[in-house]
Structure 1
């Protein structure tokens, strides 16, 4: 009986009842993530379009890059005129954690083809990884597609709504949206800084480095791309050194 069940999961075709059940289960558990992604991606759409990027390009970015921090940093570089090399390096530094998440999650995923594994890897985010890691059973392709599908659609929908909202607003309101963007960023980091000393230190270090390169006469000549890369690397490295993750006792 167990062997037959495993065989059914191995096929994972759309006509397989087990596959459909797994998709529904994953989609249900991904609903909270989807709802949380909409306001964040809405902000991304606002920022991108306000910076001169067309709505459809902002949407394409969100549909091909499911990474909030990476997208915000990347669009800032594009708007600020950063070079392609700076963009590539910053994306590598910011998003390298997804490679580690994928490697960790691969230990719980049943054997799949390369294409299916690539599809899962594309949809790995911090929240999706956290939910999938809590599963006690072996993870199937159908479950991951359901878990990824909802947040992916929510991220794209929020970007589209944010971009369209900005494009139809009068110039006066578009300019005022800059304040709303800063408020959104503050709202994203304050909860983490409030309950985690490590997060607070990392945030302050990153802000300090950014301010140093913004207001120091010589350092301010360095492009925004390298400032983002340096701030991310130094702040995260310092956080890892000062607040190493303790191994759980068995």
Structure 2
């Protein structure tokens, strides 16, 4: 497959992904507006941070006025899985693909883009990813900006209602996985309980929201990974 065909195939695959991203990022825009970001700032944040959970952590951290270091660490922790996805995708690279293509593709890795990329048969072309990104990334960023604009125009009651949509999205993500895997279900329930506990326990409740999230994310994932490691399967 030549580069042009790969790019066009990527565009076709990116349209449904981009439309879904637009809806999600619109809700993120409501959160960004509450954090005090303007449409340009929201667009820029989404352009360079292509992750719903990562951006939610970013915007809520900004709203809580945490330090730059806390923002950097929590964003890194929440988005760390994309490094693993990028490493897995490199297994489909031809040895002749230069570094800058690898870098650009790794920048645009999300759960959905990784899914459609890893499913490609034969020798993988970076232009396929560029096609997907050409649709998905602008719609993701535009949705955030429009969400901020809508948050500035709509009545406060409507803004509050729209902000709940993001929590619904997260619930839609964790419930199916939790129903299939008891370890994930346990992680969800433990995180709920400890998040509440951290908000009321002496001394710990005085930590910033960003630090509490970092501690919970690292500790819960590390403990469960040790106790219930993912079983390896042979391909």
- Same fold, judged at TM 0.5 (above): yes
Q: Report what 1:45 is aligned to.
A: 29
Residues 1:206 and 2:191 are matched in the alignment: yes
Q: Report what 2:139 is aligned to.
A: 154
Residues 1:25 and 2:9 are matched in the alignment: yes
Q: Deviations over 1:46-98 (max 9, x none)?
A: 11112321122111100111122111111111110111111111122222221
1:21–1:179 Cα change, 3 Å: closer
Q: Deviations over 1:162-215 (max 9, x none)?
A: 222211112343344444444443334333323332322221222222111111
SS of alignment partner, residue 52 of structure 1: coil
1:184–1:133 Cα change, 3 Å: closer
Distance in 1 between residues matched to 2:127 and 2:99, nearest whole Å = 15
Residues 1:81 and 2:26 are matched in the alignment: no
Q: Report what 1:137 is aligned to.
A: 122
- CA drift of 1:148 comes to 2.4
Q: Which has the larger radius of gyration?
A: 1
Q: Report what 2:104 is aligned to.
A: 119
Distance in 2 between residues matched to 1:39 and 1:243, nearest whole Å = 35
Equivalence map 1:218-229=2 (5 Å) = 218-229=203-214
Moved more, 230-239 or 137-146: 230-239
Q: Which 5+ residue runs of structure 2 have no aligned equivalent?
A: none
What TM-score comes out, normalization by structure 1 length?
Answer: 0.85
Given that 2:24 and 2:166 are in contact with CA atoms closer than 8 Å, whether structure 1 keeps it comes out as no
Q: Deviations over 1:98-141 (max 9, x none)?
A: 12211221121223222222111110112211221122211112
- Root-mean-square deviation (CA, aligned residues, Å) is 2.0
Q: Deviations over 1:142-165 (max 9, x none)?
A: 112112222212312321232222
What is the number of equivalent residue pairs in this alignment? 234
Q: Report what 1:128 is aligned to.
A: 113
Greater relative contact order (CA < 8 Å, ≥ 6 in sequence): 2
Given that 2:34 and 2:63 are in contact with CA atoms closer than 8 Å, whether structure 1 keeps it comes out as no
SS of alignment partner, residue 24 of structure 2: helix
Q: Deviations over 1:4-34 (max 9, x none)?
A: xxxxx7xxxxxxxx22111011222233322
